[in-house]
Structure 1
Amino acid sequence: MNEPQYTAPHIPPDAGPPPARRPSRRTVLAAMTATTAAALPLFSTTPAAAEGRPSDLLYIGTWGRSQVHAIRFDPARGTMAPLGSVAEVSSNWVTVHPTRPVVYVAGGEQGGLVRTFHVDDASGALRQTGEIQTEAVPGGSGGLSYIGLDENADTLLVADFAAGSASTVQVHRDGGLGAVASTVQHTGSGPSPRQTSPHTHHVLIDPTRRFALVADFGADRVFVHRYDRTTHRISDSTPTPGSYATAPGSGPRRLAFHPRGRTVYLLNELTADIEVLSWDATTGTLTPRQLLTTNAPGHTGVTSAAELAVSRDGRHVYVSNRGDNALVVFAVDQRTGRLTEAQRLPCGGVTPWSFSLHPEGRWLFVANEVSSTVNLFGVDPGTGQLTDTGTSVAVPNPDCVSIRRSSSTKKYTRP
């Protein structure tokens, strides 16, 4: 039986995503059992809140379901309590302001819509407070693939997969959004039928805040643009650093800097490999240093990598592989930034679309899109290795997890 094809804009309208592996009977039964809990009405309190312990809120986008779900998470006990749907809105990607009670939701409609919501910390409920359109001239099927904040949380970074463009939006002190500050349009294509045009997948500001790096799935490029921290603009103003070209058909998807700022990790979706790149912050150039597969030995069938993250201490890199339904942990050589595979384990479900590391560094949340579960993994602070806790919450087709820390919990700061 063929898996259903997606039409949302993480992937172009002329081709669906790689078909996911068919869930096992055990996985399906587990998801069905958990669905009852996920369908419960919004909680006004949770066990953690009732006992006065700090608890965090997880906000989850849902692929093609037009909902944002929430989970109450107790970091001391490692427990998750579902709050159900807290907003009825298209949610291709969700990100949370680090200090303000604001959630940003990227939609899949035409126009490149981003909506802002106010968080009620007591209940987890969301109330819409604003909406902006990032496409000046809406076209195609619409759809944003990623939104995120820069380190100072004063600029929202927007990747428009369908349009092949990247935009920036000023963020006010209260977390509200201003007007679109800049948009750059890419060109290019690749050999895959899914690469007939540029498809921007990720936008990242470098640690010096002088450059914006943009992973373009369709063009097989990491474009490097100049960034003005004062005006919040990215541009192609001369002289331009240019771009880094991946192997044809790679499909660049995710970027991450090592905390020391001299190494960039690039995850390619179509070839499911990870590249280690040297970063020259003076000239804004990338130089290849290492290429590793994230596939299991003897891998056959679908090849698709999805998510990438670096631990706070820079000692480990984490990757999700959708073709193998696996999580992969790499150890980092602190002198060179090069990687060595340290662990490979099942993701706890089917199609790990995304994951998020908890700021404390002890937990990892996996959005398993096809099996409709958010799964909790423990992180060993010494070895960086993962352990499946067996805890999961049913969420319909989750695509990302964003974390709002409790106001009574010390906020994460860069080491």
Structure 2
Amino acid sequence: MGKGGSRAYIGSFTAAGGRGVLTAAVQPDTGALTALDATGEVPDPSYLALSASGETLYAVSETEDGALAAFEVTAGGLRLAGDPVPVGGSGPTHLAPYAGHVLTANYGSGSVTAVPVESGGRLGRRTSVLLHQGRGPHPQRQQGPHAHQVLAAAGGRWAVSVDLGTDSVRVCALDPSGGLKLHHETALRPGSGPRHLAFHPRGHRAYVLNELTPTMTVCRWDPVDGVLETGPETAVLAGAPDGDAYPSEIVVAPDGRFAWTATRGEDVISVLALDGDGDRPTLTATVSCGGRWPRDLALHPSGRFLYAANERSGDVTWFTLDAKTGVPARGGAIEAPAASCVVFD
């Protein structure tokens, strides 16, 4: 298997013509991708995550029933490790390894599920489903909770879930029996529609990308007490309409100097420069995503290359990042129908 970012795994929507999980080789000097093989055993594997060892790849099945799958990463490719496990929620859009479990964010049902990891990376039966409560002011998009992302928080003690429907970020933890318990909930501006969150590498700040308005909210993060405090919002687009822009993903540079966001309605990647404390992002540039409807952004482990999964044009485009300005320069693209996610080993 590859190490240090020599392999990329690309998730997709099989219902829209995707190949399932596509494996690609990464050229270390240019970041270029070369398709190797694909597996379509799991429907709509829209989001992926690797185990800490790199020996198991986890995938949500973003279907009405909702499931979580594990693949063994072998020299010959991906091998499904047991049957997918029902998550007890609909439309899981995101997942994250955490505390000996894999957590899924279930958008349709507005919940987060915990599934234990057993020997060899295989999955057990779910131990907990934490239902979110609440709604927001948007008449179509916020009639109830819609958990869009879940991830292990900086510091490793807590997990956070971002809910577009309730305009909030929840902090939770697992009890000894594998039950998810809500610890703290942070309200964001009503109608902002938070979608995804990324932590500063120092772990003291979190940046929440909002979908219903093209902004990023800067938050203070306390990794000991597990409390998120909201701060100012920064526009991720210049002169764009307040709605219907559909920001999708945010990533932060390993050195904390830049953040990049993708916006689907505008088909662009935005560059935001971060000050020394990470408190005052400044929008400095926008560039084309190289395709249409960039659902995901991914940063190569080297920090030199950025990748956009362009769902509607069916490709993954790679960019070389300028070390001084953070501005991406297009390098090339690989065909990937209905691409939705990119992760690296």
TM-score normalized by structure 2? Answer: 0.90
* 1:355/1:400 contact within 8 Å kept: yes
- The 3-state SS of whatever aligns with 1:179 is coil
Match for residue 171 of structure 1 among 104, 117, 127:
117
Matched-pair contact (CA < 8 Å) for 1:107–1:114: yes
Deviations 1:4-55 (A, max 9, x none): xxxxxxxxxxxxxxxxxxxxxxxxxxxxxxxxxxxxxxxxxxxxx9xxx997
Q: Aligned in 2, Cα 1:58/1:208: closer, same or farther, shift over 3 Å?
A: closer
The structure in which a higher percent of residues are strand is 2
Deviates more, 1:255-264 or 1:94-103: 94-103
Structure 1's 54 and 103: CA in aligned 2 closer, same or farther, altered over 3 A? closer
Equivalent pair of 1:301/1:323 in contact (CA under 8 Å): no
Partners of 2:305 and 2:144 in 1: CA distance? 37
CA distance in 2, matches of 1:255, 1:298: 21
**Structure-2 separation of matches of 1:172 and 1:133:** 13
Task: Extract unaligned runs of 5+ from structure 2.
Answer: none
Please show how residues 103-252 of structure 1 align to structure 2 within 5 Å: 103-121=57-75, 123=76, 125-136=77-88, 142-150=90-98, 154-172=100-118, 174-192=120-138, 193-228=140-175, 233-236=179-182, 240-241=183-184, 243-252=185-194
Deviation of 1:132 after TM superposition, in Å, equals 4.3
RMSD after superposition: 2.4
Alignment correspondent of 1:57: 7
Secondary structure of the structure 2 residue equivalent to 1:174: helix
Partner of 2:284: 342
Relative to structure 1, the CA distance from residue 233 to residue 311 in structure 2 (aligned partners, 3 Å threshold; closer, same or farther) is farther
Secondary structure of residue in 2 paired with 1:323: coil
- State yes or no: 1:396 paired with 2:334: no
What runs of 5+ residues in structure 1 fail to find an aligned partner? 1-48, 405-415
Change (3 A) 1:281 1:70: closer
When residues 324 and 399 of structure 1 are mapped into structure 2, their CA distance, relative to the original with a 3 A threshold, is same
Q: Report the 3-state secondary structure (helix = DSSP H, G, I; strand = E; otherwise coil) of the residue aligned with 1:178.
A: coil
Three-state SS of the structure 1 residue aligned to 2:197 is strand
SS at match of 1:296: coil
* 1:83 partnered with 2:36: yes
1:338 positional shift? 2.1
What is aligned with 1:94?
48
- Which amino acid is 1:274 matched to? M
Deviation of 1:382 (Å): 4.1
> Residues of 1 paired with 2:104 and 2:168: CA distance?
17
Q: What pairs with 1:13-28 in structure 2 (closer than 5 Å)?
A: none
The answer to whether the 8 A contact 1:250-1:268 is kept is yes
Deviation of the 1:398 alpha carbon: 0.3
CA distance in 1, matches of 2:243, 2:211: 14
Counterparts of 2:122 and 2:148, CA distance in 1: 24
SS at match of 1:288: strand
Please say if residues 59 and 70 of structure 1, whose CA atoms lie closer than 8 Å, have aligned partners that are also in contact.
yes
The question of whether the paired residues in 2 share the 8 Å contact of 1:182 and 1:235 is answered with no
**Residue 227 (structure 1) shift:** 4.2
**C-alpha distance in 1 between matches for 2:85 and 2:103:** 13
How far does residue 175 in structure 1 lie from its aligned partner after superposition?
A: 2.3
Measure how far apart 1:127 and its partner are. 1.8
Amino acid at match of 1:147: L
- Pairwise CA distance, 1:115: 1.1
Letter in 2 for 1:354: D
| 2:263 aligned with 1:315 | no
| Corresponding residue for residue 275 of structure 1 | 217
Task: Give the number of equivalent residue pairs.
Answer: 339
Which residue does the alignment assign to 1:376? 318
In 1, the alpha carbon distance for the partners of 2:66 and 2:96 equals: 14
Displacement of 1:298 in angstroms is 4.7
Deviates more, 1:376-385 or 1:302-311: 376-385
Query: Which is worse superposed, 378-387 or 265-274?
Result: 378-387
Match for residue 23 of structure 2?
Answer: 70
- 8 Å contact kept, 1:134–1:167: no
Cα-to-partner distance string for 1:257-303 (whole Å, 9 max, x where unaligned): 11222111101111121000112334432222220111232548732
Sort the Cα spacing of 1:87 and 1:290 in 2 relative to 1 into closer, same or farther, 3 A. Answer: same
Give the Cα–Cα distance (whole angstroms) in 1 for the partners of residues 242 and 136 of structure 2. Answer: 22
Match status 1:367 vs 2:309: yes
Q: Percent identity?
A: 32
User: Which protein is bigger by CA-based radius of gyration?
Assistant: 1
